[in-house]
Chains A and B, each alone.
Chain A
Amino acid sequence: MRTYILRRFLQAIPLLIAISILSFFIMQLSPGNYLDTMKLNPDVSEELIETMQKQYGLDKSIPEQYFHWLWQILHGNFGESFTYKVPVTHVIKTRALNTIILSVAAMIIAWGFSIPIGIYSATHKYTIGDNIFTSLAFVGLSIPNFFFALLLLFLIVKFNVPLPITGMTSIMYDYLSFSGKIIDVLKHLLVPAVVLGTASMASLTRIMRGQMIEAMRSDYIRTARAKGLKNKTVVYKHAFRNAINPMITMFGFQISALLSGAALTETVTGWPGLGKMMLTAVRSKDLYLAMAGLMIGSVLLILGNLIADILLAISDPRIRYN
């Protein structure tokens, strides 16, 4: 197992380098750079632009810029953000953490609801409850994240629900006690996490239901029933344990969707995450910030997939990694 994890880590290195080359190339395709917008400002002197050009290495050729950037990364320096005028690492640390908080919260909501609902639907096939859940899953699957977020915000304002509608903290945040701070953040987290959670919840419920139904039809379930085992034991000890494995594989796939969905949800709900940062970076052609965003996003994705594979190995004894 340890060698397997090590090998996966080593495999990720060339992958990340390839991702960085592709990302750098795409960012360079973009017409003009941050300094071009600065040049339009009459208050900015030409000397300043020249110094900045030198400072950021923008006067060199693209391959040179890339290797310069790569060299800096290897020293833990992600460069400096043009817009924020601080090292990219400063900006990205909190942003990445916020996105992780949001994604984990969404995952808890999605998995916490989809597994029990999936089991219920599968064991009560074609009943009213199953039909309702199946239809709701379809609705959840079809509603775009950002529109759902807008809709929730609209309802919150319309019906005066005491929930904050934007950002991550209130104005009074700094004056709150520690527990007050946590409650404040959780309140802000609720809307984006529910929005992001429902999207994954819908697809997970459908998969869980399908897997459960398939497992319930297996021979070993018939055997278990023939032995006279309690229904509860049959469902949770026999069917569930077999149905859950494909779900763990889904965990890996979900991460990509989660990060993408988070980008739009963050923008609508003002949650200061990686996706919202990426949007500003890309819009203002903040090269190093956008590059860092792309790289951190990819690292999260690759890590997530690795975690999914490890979890699968733990839950399914038939899988052996050498």
Chain B
Amino acid sequence: MNRLNQGNFDKNTDISKEKKSEKKEYDFLNDTWRRMRRHKMAIIGGTIVIILYIIVIFAGFLGPYNPYHGFKKHFFHPPTKVHFFDEDGLTRPYVYRTETVDWAEYEVIKDKKYPIKFFHKGDEYKLFGLFKTDLHLFGVDEPAHLFLLGSDNYGRDLFTRILFGGRVSMFIGFVAIFITTIIGLIVGGIAGYYGGWVDNILMRFAEVIMSIPAFYLLLALAAVLPMGISSTLRFFLIISILSFRGWAGMARVIRGMVLSIRNEDYVLAAEAIGARDPRIIKKHVLPTTTTYVIVRATVSIPGYIIMESGLSFLGLGIQEPNASWGNMLTAAQNVTKITNFPWLLIPGFMIFFAVLSYNLLGDGLRDALDPKATENN
């Protein structure tokens, strides 16, 4: 309070105004946003997360090639050098073409400059999976290639595959936590509300799942998936596996919360006044759990991203030729390969950035939604 009073007069009136309006009606979202803004790192994390989602949604347009298009003569091609200067100084960016000299060794041939063309017509793809188009943000004409981050063992453009692989990694966490939350809320709610033997059975089952080391269970479950299924089905089955393992922890906490909320004074008071169940649930029980659920969901997403990439890395998750950050790293499993072709490690940095941004966002969100936790930081 002291610090606030030291501010100038204008600020003071601002604050008192704010306080008045707060008294009138407590605006949950506004209030949260106000507290959230104080966490600069969380805002940065959140912005990066949003940018990542936009990038992976527009992967087809942003990537210069088709993710499955392999240039057979250009496997393990190092990142193409983009030139911004020529003899006359700064010019429009251009590249040189390369030719194979030896196994995975390339020579730059400087006979002609290939300018990078914007809104270039290249491989065909479907925007949002709906509109067929061949327009890419940038690209170069054949026979030159634009491998911004190099190419993999089939000569596929790593940059494009990272964009497409991001779709899997970014959305699997999101969808999996959504399903986990719903199951956790329902099971936890039922267990906490009805109690008795229902509670007992549900919670014992949750305990069984939580007593098997997470990754061992995931391994066993992922091995059940048959090999020949479509990539979309596989994507959803992996989400189900992650949710199957994940709901138990959530359900346990929700159960505990429902149990304690039911006996809170304000709920008993509301009951005594004669409020009906829907009102109590809407006004008292749900708001108390939403904070926890939102925070927990945001904080858990990175874990799901890591789990998925781990499974894909071991070859049990998303399968080739589909890209995911995890299975792209499989190519880097061999030590001689990573030392010769270090760009194969780039998908790992993408996992790291995505997880880091989500962690920063979750941390800030937790502070903003749970003011009690802020004091400890």
A29 to B217, CA, bound (A): 13
- Residues in B with CB closer than 8 Å to A260 are 213-216
- Residues in B with CB closer than 8 Å to A154 are 335, 338-339, 342, 345
Residue B309 lies at the interface, judged by CB distance under 8 Å to chain A: yes
A40 CB to closest chain B CB (Å) equals 14
The residue among A139, A214, A294 with the most chain B CB atoms within 10 A of its own CB is A294
Residue B135 lies at the interface, judged by CB distance under 8 Å to chain A: no
B372 CB to closest chain A CB (Å) equals 10
CB of A263 within 8 A of CB of B219, answer yes
Q: Mark B355-377, 1 if CB is under 8 A from A, else 0.
A: 11001100000000000000111
CB of B356 within 8 A of CB of A31, answer no
Contact pick for A302, options B211, B226, B306, B355, CB 8 Å: B211
Given A213-B376, A214-B376, A158 and B313 contact (CB-CB distance below 8 Å): no
- Residues in B with CB closer than 8 Å to A146 are 309-310, 313, 329
Contact pick for B216, options A211, A259, A267, CB 8 Å: A259
B253 CB to closest chain A CB (Å) equals 13
Residue A15 lies at the interface, judged by CB distance under 8 Å to chain B: yes
CB of A29 within 8 A of CB of B224, answer yes
Q: Across the two chains, which residue of chain A brings its CB closest to B342?
A: A154
- Residues in A with CB closer than 8 Å to B217 are 26, 294
A264 to B218, CA, bound (A): 12
- Residues in A with CB closer than 8 Å to B359 are 138, 141-142
B18 CB to closest chain A CB (Å) equals 26
CB of A147 within 8 A of CB of B208, answer no
Residue A157 lies at the interface, judged by CB distance under 8 Å to chain B: yes
Given A142-B302, A151-B348, A154-B339, A263 and B224 contact (CB-CB distance below 8 Å): no
CB of A19 within 8 A of CB of B356, answer no
Residue B220 lies at the interface, judged by CB distance under 8 Å to chain A: yes
Query: Which residues of B (168-215) have their CB < 8 Å from a CB of A?
Result: 204-205, 207-215
Residue A23 lies at the interface, judged by CB distance under 8 Å to chain B: yes
CB of A293 within 8 A of CB of B377, answer no
A158 to B306, CA, bound (A): 26
Residue B47 lies at the interface, judged by CB distance under 8 Å to chain A: no
Given A31-B224, A166-B335, A294-B217, A18 and B212 contact (CB-CB distance below 8 Å): no
The stretch of A47-55, A56-64, A279-287 in contact with B is A279-287
CB of A301 within 8 A of CB of B223, answer no
Q: Mark A16-33, 1 if CB is under 8 A from B, else 0.
A: 001100110011011100
A279 to B220, CA, bound (A): 8
A105 CB to closest chain B CB (Å) equals 18
Contact pick for A31, options B214, B226, B329, CB 8 Å: B226
B48 CB to closest chain A CB (Å) equals 12
A240 CB to closest chain B CB (Å) equals 16
Residue B221 lies at the interface, judged by CB distance under 8 Å to chain A: yes
- Residues in B with CB closer than 8 Å to A15 are 204, 207-208, 211
A181 to B3, CA, bound (A): 63
CB of B355 within 8 A of CB of A23, answer no
Q: Across the two chains, which residue of chain A brings its CB closest to B205?
A: A18
A165 to B333, CA, bound (A): 12
CB of A298 within 8 A of CB of B213, answer yes
A49 CB to closest chain B CB (Å) equals 22
Residue B332 lies at the interface, judged by CB distance under 8 Å to chain A: yes
CB of A294 within 8 A of CB of B223, answer no
Given A264-B313, A298-B211, A278 and B216 contact (CB-CB distance below 8 Å): yes
Q: Mark A214-247, 1 if CB is under 8 A from B, else 0.
A: 1001000000000000000000000000000000
Residue A268 lies at the interface, judged by CB distance under 8 Å to chain B: yes
A31 to B352, CA, bound (A): 34
Contact pick for A144, options B220, B221, B309, B339, CB 8 Å: B309
Residue B351 lies at the interface, judged by CB distance under 8 Å to chain A: yes
B75 CB to closest chain A CB (Å) equals 20
- Residues in B with CB closer than 8 Å to A167 are none
- Residues in A with CB closer than 8 Å to B309 are 144, 146-147
A129 CB to closest chain B CB (Å) equals 16
CB of A30 within 8 A of CB of B223, answer yes
Q: Mark B211-240, 1 if CB is under 8 A from A, else 0.
A: 111111101111110100000000000000
A14 CB to closest chain B CB (Å) equals 8
CB of B215 within 8 A of CB of A264, answer yes
Contact pick for A294, options B220, B313, B335, CB 8 Å: B220
CB of B329 within 8 A of CB of A147, answer yes
- Residues in A with CB closer than 8 Å to B333 are 150, 268
A18 to B302, CA, bound (A): 30
Residue A70 lies at the interface, judged by CB distance under 8 Å to chain B: no
A276 CB to closest chain B CB (Å) equals 10
A298 to B205, CA, bound (A): 14
Residue A118 lies at the interface, judged by CB distance under 8 Å to chain B: no
Contact pick for B355, options A19, A144, A151, A157, CB 8 Å: A144
- Residues in A with CB closer than 8 Å to B216 are 259-260, 263, 275, 278, 293-294, 297
- Residues in A with CB closer than 8 Å to B213 are 256, 259-260, 263, 297-298, 300-301
- Residues in B with CB closer than 8 Å to A26 are 217, 220-221, 224
- Residues in A with CB closer than 8 Å to B207 are 15
A192 CB to closest chain B CB (Å) equals 14
A117 CB to closest chain B CB (Å) equals 16
CB of A264 within 8 A of CB of B314, answer yes
CB of B223 within 8 A of CB of A213, answer no
CB of B332 within 8 A of CB of A150, answer yes
A119 to B207, CA, bound (A): 34
A124 to B331, CA, bound (A): 44
Contact pick for B220, options A139, A282, A302, CB 8 Å: A282
CB of A23 within 8 A of CB of B220, answer yes
Q: A15-B211, A18-B208 are in contact. List 12 more A-B contacts (CB 8 A).
A: A26-B224, A143-B352, A146-B313, A146-B329, A147-B352, A150-B338, A154-B339, A154-B345, A263-B219, A264-B314, A290-B223, A294-B212
Question: 29 A-B residue contacts at CB 8 Å?
Answer: A15-B208, A18-B205, A22-B212, A26-B224, A143-B355, A144-B306, A144-B348, A144-B351, A147-B352, A151-B348, A154-B335, A154-B338, A154-B345, A157-B339, A165-B335, A210-B377, A257-B214, A259-B213, A259-B215, A260-B214, A263-B215, A268-B333, A279-B219, A279-B314, A282-B222, A282-B223, A290-B223, A293-B216, A302-B211
* 5 A-B pairs with the lowest CB-CB distances in the bound complex, closest first: A260-B215, A147-B348, A142-B356, A259-B213, A282-B223
